[in-house]
Chain A
């Protein structure tokens, strides 16, 4: 475990098997920098965790990887090709090799669970209906929701919706799966199931996974490699165990969930006492 510069050196030897390679990425929204020199690599066949406090641009990172956004400076290489230099058709071809699980599931609300999972298959293949049916039922069985095939998305709980979305994300057998905050708001059973599924997808199907989350404990049980983002760049990289042992201030604050430390919990505000007294006088 070490600070910003050295993880890059440590990982550079393994750059060849990088499925996603983010190189010195700068990205700003309305002049507010989100990333300022971000470097990270996602290696084939591993589960990579990207952690960081809220607002550090974790979801933005996923959007950069899927080519929905483009870096102001630097490169985002996906399957070895700079996503910013690809044509629209090439970006779509890259996305077909990638699955993404959205925080809220993002299921299409006007069609049922079965049709949601079948959606990418129908759009991208000419498979006969009988094959599509088997394929969809297999994926739904994998997430334990074969019995819910005819339900509409509005009839599902949050955890169920996310499992359906996971079935939809894997139905085209992607090489990379991106998970956006997969653990938020789940009950312990759904959380355990999702955790096991992420691990199983990785081990059984060899799917490379990128899990963006701030749930340190959950990630520690499944991640092979972790990156901690803060202030627009990677402040620490290593296995979750290495991060837990770190004595670097930012890492320690994040791993222990402390309000005190380099990452400010309070939004910038005038002096507390003087503002309260000022309100009295006013």
Chain B
């Protein structure tokens, strides 16, 4: 039993090491990729633009739920006018970055892993190497950078739409004064809160993109291998997002 655990531990350490070396190569590839801004822009569209609808819908419904629940709880204390403050802080500091990251992992992360995995399975990465083109700077780095840039933008969209959803319920349905809602929101939110959200979404974007690209690159070049790698991307990204969220929240306290 202990041998099995020992083996699993070793395998875990090995994978961590492989990912570390991959990150090093990826960062070198990023320098070369900066000379191809067109590729990075295309990947921002792939990871960000194509995730926009799902992010907007999720943001709207999250904001609406916040509006309903917030109103329900706050009115017990006679503080329903603080709904804007509650929604804005919850979205900016927590729900925006985290939910966007989880959706981003499911939508863009899986797409990245399966795309790179299939490129590997069909010898496209090898063909690039033989043509003296480094796939790390042509394939991996633009996708990694595209993910890092897209993630904070998506989180920002999520926050804006979420706040709109909370206002829709709070002001439109439950009758809170519009001016009170927005002035409370404005006075409650400081630069510190916005910074926390941006830092979180940047970190989540980097981690998810790294996991997605690494899994695609390291996967077994078979149909089953690509499928397993895609699953691992979602699982590892989601768990790490929540873990890092705790660490970052504690750091910003």
Chain A's closest residue to B42 (CB) is A110
**Chain A residues within 8 Å of chain B by Cβ, number:** 20
Contact A106 B126, beta carbon cutoff 8 Å: yes
Contact A106 B122, beta carbon cutoff 8 Å: yes
Among A96, A102, A168, contact of B126 (Cβ-Cβ < 8 Å) = A102
Among B127, B133, B134, B138, contact of A106 (Cβ-Cβ < 8 Å) = B127
Contact B132 A95, beta carbon cutoff 8 Å: yes
Number of A-B contacts (CB under 8 A): 48
Task: Tell me which of A18-26, A117-125, A230-238, A246-254 binds B.
Answer: A117-125
Q: Does A104 contact B (CB under 8 A)?
A: yes
Q: Does B130 contact A (CB under 8 A)?
A: yes
Contact B129 A119, beta carbon cutoff 8 Å: no
Contact B132 A124, beta carbon cutoff 8 Å: yes
Distance in Å from the Cβ of A167 to the closest Cβ of chain B?
Answer: 13
A183 to B130, CA, bound (A): 20
Task: Kindly supply a per-residue 1/0 record for chain B positions 119-151, scoring 1 wherever the CB is within 8 Å of any chain A CB and 0 otherwise.
Answer: 100111011111111100010000000000000
A109 to B132, CA, bound (A): 18
A75 to B8, CA, bound (A): 37
Q: Does A226 contact B (CB under 8 A)?
A: no
Contact A68 B122, beta carbon cutoff 8 Å: no
Task: List A contacts of B134 (CB < 8 A).
Answer: 92
Distance in Å from the Cβ of A80 to the closest Cβ of chain B?
Answer: 19
Task: List A contacts of B126 (CB < 8 A).
Answer: 68, 102, 106
Known: A106-B122, A106-B123. A100 touches B132 (CB 8 A): no
Task: Kindly supply a per-residue 1/0 record for chain A positions 95-114, scoring 1 wherever the CB is within 8 Å of any chain B CB and 0 otherwise.
Answer: 11010101110111100000
A39 to B145, CA, bound (A): 45
Contact A104 B122, beta carbon cutoff 8 Å: yes
Chain B's closest residue to A66 (CB) is B130
A98 to B129, CA, bound (A): 11
Task: List B contacts of A98 (CB < 8 A).
Answer: 130
Contact B132 A104, beta carbon cutoff 8 Å: no
A92 to B138, CA, bound (A): 15
Chain A's closest residue to B125 (CB) is A106
Task: List A contacts of B130 (CB < 8 A).
Answer: 66, 68, 95, 98, 100
Task: List B contacts of A95 (CB < 8 A).
Answer: 129-132
Task: Find residues 155-210 in chain A having any chain B CB closer than 8 Å to their own CB.
Answer: 168
Among A68, A108, A124, A168, contact of B129 (Cβ-Cβ < 8 Å) = A68
Most chain A CB inside 10 Å of its own CB: which residue of B122, B131, B133: B131
* 8 CB < 8 A contacts A-B: A68-B126, A92-B132, A92-B134, A95-B131, A95-B132, A104-B123, A108-B124, A108-B127
Give the interface of B toward A (CB within 8 A).
Answer: 118-119, 122-124, 126-134, 138
List 12 additional contacts besides A68-B126, A95-B132, A124-B132; criterion CB under 8 Å.
A95-B131, A100-B127, A102-B126, A104-B122, A104-B123, A106-B123, A106-B126, A108-B119, A109-B119, A120-B133, A123-B131, A168-B131
